Structure 1
Amino acid sequence: MSRLYGDPIEVWTRDGEPTQFVWHDRLYLVRRVLDHWVVAREWWKTSEGDPGERRFWRVEASPGREVGSYELRFDTAGSGWLLMRAWD
């Protein structure tokens, strides 16, 4: 079962891919990237007229021994990361 969040997170990357992130004051190490996709935003829905992109990663990550699946999103227009979803 998955849960939706949309929580801001701090993310470290290597070659554009997330390698670790902090969520709820816990450091998660990305063990594996399961999927990656990009969604272009519609220019008419942005106040600046710059559509930017939303880049998504579905990753396996863990703060310790227990590994979970997480969906991370980076918004190029706002330069911010969000944890969008977590799977048990």
Structure 2
Amino acid sequence: MSRLYGDPIEVWVRDGHPAQFVWRDRLYTVREIQDHWVVAREWWKTSDADPGERRFWRVGAAAGKEVGTYELRFDTASGGWLLLRAWD
């Protein structure tokens, strides 16, 4: 079962991929990249000349003994990261 969140997170990147992130005051270490995709933002919905894109990663990560699957999103226009979804 998955749960939707949309929580801002802090992410450390290594070789262009998320390596660690902090969510709800817990440090998670990415163990595997399960999927990665990029979605171009709709230029007509933004006022910028460069609307950017959204980069998504589905990762297996652990915080201590807690292991799970998480979907992370990076918005190139804002430079912000979100944790969108978590699976038990």
Structure-1-length-normalised TM-score? 0.96
What is aligned with 2:67?
A: 67
Structure 1 unaligned residues grouped into runs of 5+: none
Runs of 4+ in 1 over 4 A off after TM superposition: none
Q: C-alpha root-mean-square deviation of aligned residues, in Å?
A: 0.7
- In 2, Cα distance between the equivalents of 1:31 and 1:19? 8
Offset of residue 15 of structure 1: 1.2
Counting aligned pairs with the same residue, the percent is: 80
Offset of residue 66 of structure 1: 2.2
- In 1, Cα distance between the equivalents of 2:29 and 2:41? 29
What is aligned with 2:83?
A: 83
Offset of residue 20 of structure 1: 0.3
- In 2, Cα distance between the equivalents of 1:51 and 1:35? 23
How many residues end up aligned between the 2 structures? 88
